[in-house]
A and B are shown apart, each in its own frame.
Chain A
Amino acid sequence: MSVIYLGFFVDLKLIGGYAWAAAALAHMYEQLGDYSYANIRQLVGYATLLRGWIYEHFPFIGIRRVQSQYSEEEPRCRKYEPGKVTSIVVVRLQLDTLPPTSIHFSPYDGNREERPFEQISLC
């Protein structure tokens, strides 16, 4: 863990004032980018974010259970309870034969009251 982050938690009132999601996304891009080099064999990062993204946009890929008690006050990744692991061979085949109609492009309509769409997401 980098000690640098501690500085952002010294004043409790200021914690929520940082664009944490932007930092998280930049970190994710960087780690995914690093992994794409042939000599790197390790993916570092918050796997929950990537997995949640897959669950939301690809309803037919990956094994999970939708939590019936999920409420919009919780982050969307809490909507899913991961199930058995998936074989990479199966997922590759699924991705190669995936019709566009089986992708969910705007999955968060139900959460807009909690998380309104911000224009900046289009940049």
Chain B
Amino acid sequence: MKVVSHGKKINKLGAPHEHIEVAIDMCGLGGLVHASYESLDRGLLCAFVERWHPETNTFHLPIGEMTITLDDVSNLLYMPIVAQFYLHQALDADATNDLLVESLRVDRGVASEETRRCRGAHVRLNWLRDVYKDACSRR
């Protein structure tokens, strides 16, 4: 099994830039900045994942069924569970590039090249990191 997780990459971003620290504290997701484990324990994860049943969304263990609950996520990651529900609409190519240009202040050409490369409304995490580093260094 191959496990794809961004734990290490997220930590590579380093400490947040001083100009956005306040915003991070304010938004209630600040706990996530240092939450990620860098290493992967494939054996441990596999042994659980192979007992997962999608019909019930539970791990079937000899002692019975167990699952990850909202309370687990709330405590493990300190993310809100009682709040506005997450809704979004699919983005077409223009809307995707508009959003990138407006919120990340990148050139339209740069944005459209990246979304073309990712074939849709996606960007690579490394690309995002470069944009972030670039913005920090211009401060």
Contact = CB atoms under 8 A, between A and B. Distances in A.
Interface size class of B (residues with CB under 8 A): 35 or more
B70 A22 contact: yes
Interface string B1-15: 111111100000000
A43 B63 contact: no
A48 B75 contact: no
A107 B68 CA distance: 13
Contacts, number: 246
A95 B51 contact: yes
Chain A at the B interface: SS class: helix
B135 interface: no
B29 A15 contact: yes
Interface residues of A, number: 78
B96 A21 contact: no
Interface string A12-50: 110111111111110011001101100001111111111
Contacts of A80: 37
B56 to A, nearest CB: 10
A43 B45 contact: yes
Given A16-B28, A121-B81, A90 B37 contact: no
Given A19-B80, A33-B52, A54-B44, 12 more contacts: A3-B91, A3-B122, A4-B88, A13-B26, A20-B79, A20-B86, A45-B4, A46-B5, A48-B37, A50-B45, A62-B41, A80-B37
